[in-house]
């Protein structure tokens, strides 16, 4: 999917905010529970139609100075591996999974960007440090896009949509050398790459986020098939499929 400069800037901003909000232990969210499911929602039902949105992924190289440099070649590999991983899970979903026609995907670029912004807010206030918790939410997954998702319902006929957003960065050889040199002299360890991802299941009729999970860790490699599958399994842990 084509990406504007604004979308790339938004992705970098969200990744930076995620680094600030990410706990020091940097792990995935736990198994699905009250924090991951909206009040009143438990699982999908047989016959539900789920729209699988195009995966929104970007990979970066961390320069010696810590600057994130987009890598289109890595991103292309990651998209292939992540798509294969999610398609493998699709076979066992027991619900009807549909996708947007390739020629219509760009129509919903703004919706993808809106999801990224709301997902970051959910990650910060729902799964981040308790100091960022919103008293009005009372620990509940109570987030909605309002009417913004209805065009997706009209275009697909689906009741729900699954959004996947991932940003991953990898330390360059130059930064590794700098890390070693600084650690040897001062004992200070510079941060390396980080993997941040959000998965949201959205009710297209109400706009409500009915399930959410995040990935925030300093491990994983989306450039290779098996590690990419592990990352997708971690991100989709607890997905409320049909029982």
State the pLDDT confidence band at 150, using cuts at 50, 70 and 90. very high
Please tell me the pTM assigned to this model.
0.79
Contacts of 114 (CB under 8 A, 6+ apart): 145, 148
Q: In this structure, are residues 123 and 214 in contact, taking their beta carbons and an 8 Å threshold?
A: yes
State the pLDDT confidence band at 66, using cuts at 50, 70 and 90. low
180 has pLDDT over 80: no
Gap between the Cα atoms of 114 and 137, Å rounded: 20
């Amino acid at each position: 999917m084509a990406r504007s400069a604004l979308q790339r800037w938004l992705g970098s901003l969200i990744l930076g905010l995620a680094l600030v909000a990410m706990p020091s232990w940097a792990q995935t969210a736990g198994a699905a529970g009250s924090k991951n499911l909206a009040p009143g929602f438990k699982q999908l039902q047989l016959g539900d139609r789920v729209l699988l949105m195009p995966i929104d992924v970007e990979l970066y190289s961390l320069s010696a100075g810590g600057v994130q440099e987009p890598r289109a070649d890595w991103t292309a590999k990651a998209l292939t591996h992540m798509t294969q991983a999610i398609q493998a899970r699709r076979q066992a979903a027991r619900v009807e999974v549909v996708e947007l026609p390739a020629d219509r995907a760009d129509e919903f670029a703004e919706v993808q960007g809106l999801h990224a912004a709301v997902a970051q807010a959910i990650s910060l206030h729902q799964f981040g440090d308790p100091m960022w918790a919103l008293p009005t939410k009372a620990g509940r997954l109570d987030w909605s896009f309002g009417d913004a998702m209805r065009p997706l319902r009209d275009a697909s006929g689906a009741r729900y949509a699954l959004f996947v957003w991932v940003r991953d960065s990898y330390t360059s050889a130059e930064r590794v050398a700098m890390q070693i040199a600084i650690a040897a002299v001062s004992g200070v360890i510079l941060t390396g790459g980080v993997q941040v991802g959000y998965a949201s299941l959205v009710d297209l009729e109400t706009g409500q986020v009915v399930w959410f999970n995040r990935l925030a860790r300093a491990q994983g490699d989306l450039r290779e098939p098996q590690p990419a599958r592990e990352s997708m399994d971690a991100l989709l842990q607890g997905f409320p499929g049909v029982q």
